[in-house]
């Protein structure tokens, strides 16, 4: 039987190669960072979503306004989705919150992208669970 123990010198010499291997492996296969999606609140509505008129008055272009219009149609879906832009770390409850007056969706491409994807999938007839999986696949990895 062969002795597989390593000397201190051998161990120290192997550290740089191990670091390079670990860095290369993590660059090839980034860790998934799926968030926990909140449960939609019963009776939730879109009353807090910024109106199209307000957005137009503030000079936002039609693509941003369309994202808000879509969320206004699906508040029960948006309230059940996590937002991957990081706003949940500062207290936002769900993607729906991103579209409220103090939310980030006015200028955040992630919030807008999630909203557009959720709306499109909902229009295709997908369930909240299917939409969550699509959001996780697109924004969580």
Q: Rounded to an integer, what distance in angstroms lies between the CA atom of residue 99 and that of residue 54?
A: 12
6-56: per-residue pLDDT in tens? 455 543 444 443 333 333 333 333 345 778 999 999 999 999 999 999 999
Task: Say how many domains are in the chain.
Answer: 1
Identify the residue whose tokens are 């879109």: 46
Residue-range definition of the domain harbouring residue 132:
1-141
48-96: per-residue pLDDT in tens? 999 999 999 999 999 999 999 999 999 999 999 999 998 877 778 999 9
Question: Which residues have a Cβ under 8 Å from the Cβ of 61 and sit 6 or more positions away?
Answer: none
Q: How far is CA 110 from CA 16, 97, 117, 141, in A?
A: 37, 13, 10, 13
pTM of the model: 0.75
Token pair belonging to 110: 């992630």
């Amino acid at each position: 039987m062969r002795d597989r123990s390593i000397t201190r010198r051998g161990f120290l010499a192997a550290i740089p190669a191990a670091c390079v291997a670990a860095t290369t492996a993590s660059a090839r296969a980034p860790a998934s960072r799926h968030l926990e999606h909140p449960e939609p609140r019963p009776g939730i509505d879109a009353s807090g979503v910024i109106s199209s008129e307000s957005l137009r008055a503030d000079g936002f272009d039609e693509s941003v306004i369309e994202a808000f219009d879509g969320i206004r149609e699906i508040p029960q879906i948006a309230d059940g989705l996590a937002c991957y832009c990081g706003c949940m770390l500062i207290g936002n409850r769900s993607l729906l919150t991103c579209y409220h007056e103090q939310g980030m969706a006015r200028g955040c491409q992630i919030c807008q992208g999630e909203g557009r994807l959720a709306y499109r999938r909902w229009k295709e007839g997908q369930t909240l669970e299917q939409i969550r999986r699509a959001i996780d696949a697109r924004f969580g990895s």
